[in-house]
Structure 1
Amino acid sequence: MSQQQPPRSGGPRRGGPEGGGDRRGGAEGRGGSRGGSEERGDRRGGPGGRPPRDGGSRRNAKGRERNRGGERDRRYSSSAPSQRRRVADPSRLVAFEVLQAVDTEDAYANLVLPQRIRHHRLDRRDAAFATELTYGSLRERGTYDAVLARCVDRPLEKIDQKILTTLRLGAHQLLGMRTPVHAALNQTVGLARGVVGAGPSTMVNAVLRRVSERSCQEWIAELTEGVTDDLKRLSIERSHPVWIVRAMRQALAAHGRVPTEVEELLAADNLSPLVHLVALPGIGDLREAEENGAEAGELVEGSATYRHGDLGRMESVRSGRVRAQDAGSQIVARALAAAPLEGADETWLDLCAGPGGKAALLGALAARRGAHLVANEVSEHRARLVRESLRVLPEQTYGVVVGDGREIAATLEEGPLPEPVELAVEAFGGSGEIFDRVMVDAPCSGLGALRRRPEARWRKTPSDIADLVPLQTDLLRAAVGVTRPGGVVAYVTCSPHAAETQNVLLDVLEGGDVELLDTAGVIRSVMLPGPARDELTGLEMPGTTPAEGFERATTVQLWPHVHGTDAMFLALLRRR
């Protein structure tokens, strides 16, 4: 993208028609502005210069020159240190505070940002600016860091964290937004003065002036010149670690797509995603959201998309009747509720419920049928989040328990549970196969949600996936163990990585306790008519016999660049 080109940092600084001019005076400098060629000589006196006011030399005994006041009163610049802007506008300060929390406290931007927006009382326009500045700086960090490394004289890891955060925010304004160059420089330097100090702000100014000398495309061309490795090139161009680029390309192939789609996938990760809303069935509606500009969702019923900043301004959202939830999450929850089931449909389980988004949707769907939901979470802290998420449901329709999902049978014995579930547990001696529908939204790498949680791409490592796979496998097996024969289990990850999806599924299928449904067919039944539904075919698992009543045994992988959702994986299993 083209950028307005400011004067280079090594050029003239003040005066003149374009802000240049010799700082010591001259026809277009400070001396010239006071009118008179007689004032444009050597400022120490002599021919063409100004004599000292007292007629004598202003040099002291050591030869140092005293204050050059002359006959004129001294003028103080409006940018004197005491009068300079100490902070940037609140929207930039919000972005800075969020990025600092992400980098120093391992916070998640999507949780911190709304709090800081409310704290600084940003209006809708400033909140939108702060949101784009925050997420854009996080998404494009890899590219911006490569640019900044060319513009500073030390390794980035040697730069103070606050200064580096400020530089990244300035780089995004200059290279990724439509912010005028002068505004990006002035406001970012003002931010640096306020949060770091006057000294470092000089460095920030110099570095960002160098950044502004080229457009983003020009910088990328320079950074990728001579790079022959496609993975490395894409890593620079699309701001993803090399290992994630490789993993995504492999995941596309594993789920039946063309590996060359990886560039589209990475590009989709870097787009600002729409906010997806869901009205809890039988509890909320989308009227208020629609009055505030939300548009009806195109993928699943009861959904909408929203573009206009802080959702907390809407009462329906504050009450929990309407909430933000990616359409992919809505689809997999509704698919579990819609899967064909023989016999009773009374007890549902969300094995890994925190923080409670899918649990709330499942609980609302269950309540409408007279069923009851048990939501399990491993820690009391996250269980509190689940309780808060479920508080809008009828009180007797759900229960929250705390325990390791791998030990869910033992946890159920301790309760507390909704009365019908309690009776079922007692009837089966506390460890029986009692649940009709079970959601296993397993802890995963989150590679499918990088557009919504862009900080994750800079935190995760391949070893994280290796550590997660045994946990995911054990959780799925535990879920199967408390599902009644004929009951349905949904295995869900927000990651397309084959190790976390197909490999886990194959391990459990080999045990012979479950059979794979036509997951794609069930998902199509809950999606709204349209191209996304028509094109969703699913992937047949080789060597897997379809469950009774189905002609195919399929899994489904949703994609940001294809479906406009997070990269959610779903496999529906029936207990034999």
Structure 2
Amino acid sequence: MSESGRRNPANHGGRDGGSRDGGNRSQGGGGTVRRDAKGRERNRGPQRGFSASAPSQRTRRADPARLVAFEVLRAVAAEDAYANLVLPARIRHHRLDKRDAGFATELSYGALRGQGTYDAILAACVDRPLAKLDPAVLDALRLGAHQLLAMRVPAHAALDQTVGLARAVIGAGPSSLINAVLRKVTARTLPEWLDHVLAGETDTTRIDAVRHAHPEWIVRALRQSLVAHGRPADEITELLEADNEAPVVNLVALPGLGSLEEALENGATPGPLVAGSALSSGGDLGRLSSVRAGTTRVQDVGSQLVARAVAAVELGSSGEQAGEKWLDLCAGPGGKAALLAALANEAGASLLANEPAPHRAKLVSQALAAVPGSAWSVRTGDGRDLGKEQPGSFDRVLADVPCSGLGALRRRPESRWRRTPKDLAELGPLQRELLGSAIDAVRPGGVVAYVTCSPHPAETTAVVSDAVAGREDLELLDAGAALDAVSLGGNLGAGNELTAQLWPHLHRTDAMFMALIRKKA
């Protein structure tokens, strides 16, 4: 597992690293003498090190920042929650300041990303299968392992605070086990542990999976995806390392409506890939007035490039068009739809944003609220029906279909441990039906953009090939050239056989795939 992006400059352990007194003390000889209520001496000789301190010397409370991280891991494991949704709520609940919030974020996301690596190490330190441990105990061990192996937290503070957390929220008995296991973890550095647990291993997929904290099936899938999109298979190490880097926050100013001036004044830097974008230096973006107004938004630059390419690609000729009609077939929660609506507003076009789930359709409406209402409308309904209900009605259709999300693992740290190969098989029919509906909905001369946040060929090139096979009325456009046309450098190098694939290790974006299909006039 790469340590890039895992180091926190704040020495958080020092805040609570010291032990707390409990009971009466008298000083004598070379150590501290402890006496119980009857005056009996309780010390066991010279003062011992942190890892063997007597129970009354150990921290008995949960440090708020570590407690937040523990609650996030528990919600992810027990409630199938999403860390990016749980974490802000827990930070607010515990009223963490900026420093503690940063520590809790790094600890939560780092422990979730590195779960596979830490489990391999912990398995070597526990006398039973990890599956037999109480899930709460295992989460506490993962938090301790991340602090000990990948953060700038002194070992004594990481162990003391993790055991204190366990005593406060799990119990005294489990805390003894956690203390014993984490003492073993301190015996080696992360590189030393990796060499130890992988000693004698010859399977390169297994080695990559443990070293870079990805399930083995995802390592194989990503290696296959690289080759399918014209990249060398040996780029897999760079790709896995990029997945483990903390992503930079990307901003976009909605064209004609938003401005990056305030963000740039507060430390953001202009984005290098696409106009109207910026890279945020962090902090509370909610305090920026343009963000609160919805005219400046957080959006991965890969999504920005895709939306701009859809809006700019040349259409075929099919008679006079008074005003273009655009469709976002799978619009929730509304990020790309907001950018598309702003672009439509500038172009004198109108966007229909479709979303099947009512609560997500509401989110789409909220995302679009900053754009003049004359430029958009929201439909709540199944996108698979739209092609039949409104055939040949749209000039541009974005089909950003539900997918495995293998291209956004760096932003969703828990996702890699939830997904299974079965997900790919289950999503395939839905993806094909939605693309078929999009093709039915586009007019002759119009263009459909098929988009996924996954590079897997089962979700990308295979779906597109099936859609165009045997149809003489469809043609693939050069999606790589379309992305180049809307990028600042004009040479992304994302194209391969007319489709386009962005990569975290090459473009510092999510691994967005795009194919452009034009219906012949």
The TM-score normalised by the length of structure 2 is: 0.88
Counterpart of 2:416?
A: 457
Q: Show the counterpart of 1:423.
A: none
Quick check: 2:396–2:446 contact (8 Å CA) kept in 1? yes
1:93–1:69 distance in 2 versus 1, CA, 3 Å: closer
Describe the SS at the equivalent of 1:148: helix
SS of the residue 2:264 aligns to = helix
Provide, for residues 57-90 of structure 1, a one-character-per-residue CA deviation record: whole Å limited to 9, x for no partner.
xxxxxxxxx95648xxxxxxxx997996443332
Match of 1:97 among 71, 85, 91: 71
The 8 Å contact of residues 114 and 310 in structure 1, kept in 2 or not, is answered as no
Structure 1 counterpart of 2:10: none
SS in structure 2 at match of 1:154: coil
- 1:141 matched to 2:115? The reply is yes
Match of 2:138 in 1: 164
Of the structure 1 ranges 193-202 and 139-148, higher mean CA displacement relative to structure 2 is found in: 193-202
1:478 corresponds in structure 2 to 437
Distance in structure 2 (CA, Å) of the matches to 1:337 and 1:431 = 20
Residue 527 of structure 1 corresponds to 487
**Cα deviation code 1:238-284 (max 9, x no counterpart):** 11111111111111111001001111111110111111111111221
**How many angstroms does 1:454 deviate by?**
1.8
Q: Which of 307, 321, 335 pairs up with 1:357? A: 335
Give the counterpart letter for 2:487 in structure 1: M
- Which structure's CA Rg is the greater one? 1
Asked if structure 2 preserves the Cα contact closer than 8 Å seen for 1:127 and 1:310, the reply is no
Question: Which residues in structure 2 correspond to 1:159-198 (within 5 Å)?
Answer: 159-198=133-172
Q: What code does the residue aligned with 2:187 have?
A: E
Which residue is 2:371 aligned to? 393
- Counterpart code for 2:444: P
Partner of 2:22: none
Counterpart of 2:230?
256
Provide Cα deviations, 1:23-50, integer angstroms capped at 9, x if missing partner: xx9953446x99xxxxxxxxxxxxxxxx
- Asked whether the equivalents of residues 254 and 342 of structure 2 are also in contact (C-alpha less than 8 Å), the reply is yes
Equivalence for 1:379: 357
- What's the RMSD between the two structures over aligned residues? 2.6
Label 1:396 to 1:497 Cα distance change in 2 as closer, same or farther (>3 A): same
Against the structure 1 CA distance between its residues 210 and 84, is the aligned structure 2 distance closer, same or farther, given a 3 Å change threshold? closer
The reply to whether residue 538 of structure 1 matches residue 495 of structure 2 is yes
Does structure 1 retain, via aligned residues, the 8 Å contact 2:124–2:197?
A: no
More RCO (CA 8 Å, sep 6+): 2
> Structure 1 CA distance, aligned partners of 2:164 and 2:54?
13
Residues 463-486 of structure 1: per-residue CA shift (max 9 Å, x gap): 110111111111101001010011
Trace 1:32-181 onto structure 2 (pairs within 5 A): 67=38, 69=40, 85-181=59-155
Structure-1 residue corresponding to 2:385: 407
Change (3 A) 1:307 1:98: farther
SS at match of 1:496: coil
Does the Cα contact within 8 Å between 1:162 and 1:195 map onto a contact in 2? no
Residue 210 of structure 2 aligns with which residue? 236
Written as runs of structure 1 = structure 2, the 5 A alignment for 1:406-445 is 406-409=384-387, 430-445=389-404
Alpha-carbon spacing, 1:128–1:30, altered in 2? closer, same or farther (3 Å): closer
Distance 1:557 1:473 in 2: 19
Judged with a 3 Å threshold, the aligned counterparts in structure 2 of structure 1 residues 116 and 568 are, in CA distance, closer, same or farther, namely: same
Q: Is the 8 Å Cα contact of residues 483 and 492 (structure 2) preserved in structure 1?
A: no
Q: Is the 8 A contact 2:407 2:453 kept in 1?
A: yes
Deviations 1:440-473 (A, max 9, x none): 0010010000011121110111111011111111
Q: Is 1:571–2:501 an aligned residue pair?
A: no
Q: 1:114-157 deviations in whole A, cap 9, x for unaligned? A: 22223333332222222211111111100001111111222212
Match of 1:151, SS state, is coil
Q: Which amino acid aligns with 1:188?
A: T
Distance 1:108 1:175, change over 3 A: same
Q: SS of the residue aligned with 1:534?
A: coil
Distance 2:54 2:122 in 1: 28
**Other structure's SS at 1:153 match:** coil
Q: Determine whether 1:515 maps to 2:457.
A: no
SS in 1 for 2:223: helix
2:66–2:165 CA contact under 8 A, matched in 1: yes
Relative distance call for 1:356 and 1:537 in structure 2 (3 A) is closer
**Separation in 2, partners of 1:269, 1:304:** 21
Letter in 1 for 2:518: R
Shift of 1:368: 1.3
Aligned to 1:38: none
User: Structure 1: where are the runs of 5+ without partners?
Assistant: 4-13, 16-24, 35-65, 71-78, 411-429, 541-553
Residue 447, structure 1, aligned to residue 406, structure 2: yes
Picking from 280, 290, 293, the partner of 1:306 is 280
Distance 1:483 1:96, change over 3 A: same
Partner residue, 2:446: 487
Letter in 1 for 2:313: A
Cross-structure match for 1:50: none
Which residue of 12, 27, 30 maps to 1:28?
A: 30
What's 2:251 paired with?
A: 277
- 1:76-116 Cα distance to aligned partner (Å, 9 max, x none): xxx99799644333222221222211111111112222222
In the alignment, which of 176, 186, 193 is matched to residue 202 of structure 1? 176
CA distance in 2 between counterparts of 1:107 and 1:134 reads 13
Would the alpha carbon gap of residues 324 and 28 (structure 1) be closer, same or farther in structure 2, given more than 3 Å must change?
same
| 316 and 94 in structure 1: CA distance in 2 versus 1, 3 angstrom threshold | farther
How far, CA to CA, are the matches of 1:375 and 1:534 in structure 2? 31
Cα 1:488–1:184, aligned 2, differ >3 Å: closer, same or farther? same
Relative to structure 1, is the Cα distance of residues 313 and 150 closer, same or farther in structure 2, using a 3 angstrom cutoff?
farther
- 2-structure distance, mates of 1:69, 1:114: 48
Task: Give, in whole Å, the separation in 1 of the partners of 2:81 and 2:143.
Answer: 18
Partner SS state of residue 511, structure 2: coil
Asked if residue 289 in structure 1 is aligned to residue 263 in structure 2, the reply is yes
Aligned residues, how many?
Answer: 484
- Measure the CA separation in 2 of the matches of 1:81 and 1:295: 50
Match of 2:427 among 458, 461, 468: 468
